[in-house]
Structure 1
Amino acid sequence: MSQLSFDQRSNPNARSAAEREQVLANPGFGQTFTDHMVSIDFTEGVGWHDARLEPYGPLVLDPATSVFHYAQEVFEGLKAYRQAGGSIVAFRPLANAARFNRSCARLAMPELPEEVFVESLELLVQADRDWVPTTEGHSLYLRPFTIATQVGMGVNYPSKTFRYMVIASPSASYFASGVKAVKVWLSTEYTRAAPGGTGFAKCGGNYAAAFVAQRQAVQNGCDQVVWLDAFEHRHVEEMGGMNLFFVRGDRLVTPPLTGTLLAGITRDSILTFAADLGLTAEEGKITIEEWQAGCASGEITEVFACGTAAIVTPVGSVKGADREWTIGDGTPGPVTMRVREELLGIQYGTRPDPHGWVHKIC
């Protein structure tokens, strides 16, 4: 337990069981939120204070609040899973806590003690445990975030006050009708991140800057965008919100973390448990020319993306302004599906957890 004492106040207007079940029957993703939220304030010279579990509701912020004007904020994303025996768990929350603090440090924001981060998740999930779906493949998505709350428009210094919060939303399976391979767009016009920037941080500005390229992908008949390096626009980095893996026989290869990619928790997990499946996993650079040629020769048989929301997403085809090709036969491959099933099995408790990643909440 942390040294902070959480004031806990139940929501007097919590939804009824019938209302909740109606939502859980078709939750979508990020559309409906549970009855409570966690809030903790920070003041320079005082530290973190006024920790509370309270009813979910709107925030009242001055129009000149710093976050609106200078985007000083970071967030995380992870899930709570209801396992077969009825217990509710999180997957590697300490890894999320560590990444959260790396993001905070890059954005000149106060770090949150890891034990406080985990306790805040536990409190919210325990309070809203009935919102954790029982349907196979569904989960409760958790969104911790910190925003700058100082009022004023001076750009020379970071905010001196902040608010950390956690909200939760029941989410359905990413694949509504089975696992489908996605088509991706190679973005050569826009850049997600450059060395020395905020590419490794999970901050809102990175995602806002990516929307135009994602829209371009959709306009070209693709599901997602693939980002390339900032200098040559040739080396593959990551997909929108997901890391990439290339399958070469029994080898899994993923672009290295160079400060421009998000260090995905799912990515790290796959690099670790690949050996349990008899696979070799490593980091390695790859250009779009090598990707296309590898698919043509059969050296690259599968490609998949991975992240908290989509777990493991097969990539079936690639399109760019001057090229287009198919990966394998364009359908989810056997290695991709083995990796996906192993990850889901650990998270939902149907397979062993040899690395101690599952964190029981209640």
Structure 2
Amino acid sequence: MAGNGEDAQWAVTGGGFLEVACDESGSDGENLTGGNTDVFAHASVRLPVESAAAQVQEIRDRIRSPAEEYKANHLLREKHRAVLEWLLAPGGPIHGNAQVHLIEKAFFVVDRVVDLLLCDDGDGDGDGAGAEAVGLFRAGRREFGDERWREFLAAANRLLRFRYEGEPHAPVDAFFRTVRALRRADGRTEVSRTLEQLAAARSRADSYRAGLLGGTPLIPVLNPLLPAVVRTAGLWSAAGRPVRLVHDRQNMLTPERIAWIEETARGLGIGFGGLRLVHSRLDPRVQLADFLAGIARKIASDELNGRGDPALTTLLRPYVDPASVWGDERSWALLGRAPDQERSPVR
């Protein structure tokens, strides 16, 4: 993580843990294909509290809005473009001390449904979906047309979400109708085998829906926040220093789920010292993470939809986690790595 912050005095706790502050942007619950946003961003910032407070004050001094609480939208306004570029620029206040994990929501749905129905563990966590999910997603709209592909995405979303008030079998029926529609439209493409396997996986889908009748699962398959937190811990502890996360309060982060995050992280060999919840207004480091998450989500969404700002995309690129969950090849080439490097997403 090269940059201005390489020699900064990092926030280290008494136990020797590197303390990193986090926040997210783009949460729409389980509605990943029809919500208000198409990108989820989880940002993390490594700065001492005093330094972060000074940077937040600098942002306030530059923008001079009467708002009591600043959000990313303040920096994204065109009249504050210079402040936004200063924040992200090499040599800027967070460069080298911040990262953002991006999730393209539509791809996340495909990734999870392929994992649930086709992979050996069948738990929908995306660990084993890999090439099949990427291939199906990239073929989607191109091979099957906008309408069929949108119907498939929506049906996959309904199949996986635990909140459904209709007939228990209805989401399964609807999903496999869309799979049959894709197979009829398939001209023996490279994803024919994947569609054939999905069509044969009805029993797994039925078992999954039956398991949801017992109540809300501890780890909802469609929630991007929990795996993003685990990934963030792994990202910052990669250099060998154990990490402790400070996170903005979220309803999803219950004590039971925090325990799952800690157990999962340690099971992956991550030096993880736990997660502490705070209100973003009370911790300037979390405020900076909130700014970065909202900024990154907007820049990434614009790039995904073909209306990217080349200058802002270039400024964001050094912050983007190379293991972001992203399926769109064109936008990832701009967001995730230099144009002369490999263009496929690294999951």
Indicate whether the TM-score tops 0.5. Answer: no
- Larger relative contact order, structure 1 or 2 (CA cutoff 8 Å, min sep 6): 2
TM-score of the superposed pair, with normalisation by structure 2? 0.24
TM-score by length of 1: 0.24
Structure with greater strand percent? 1
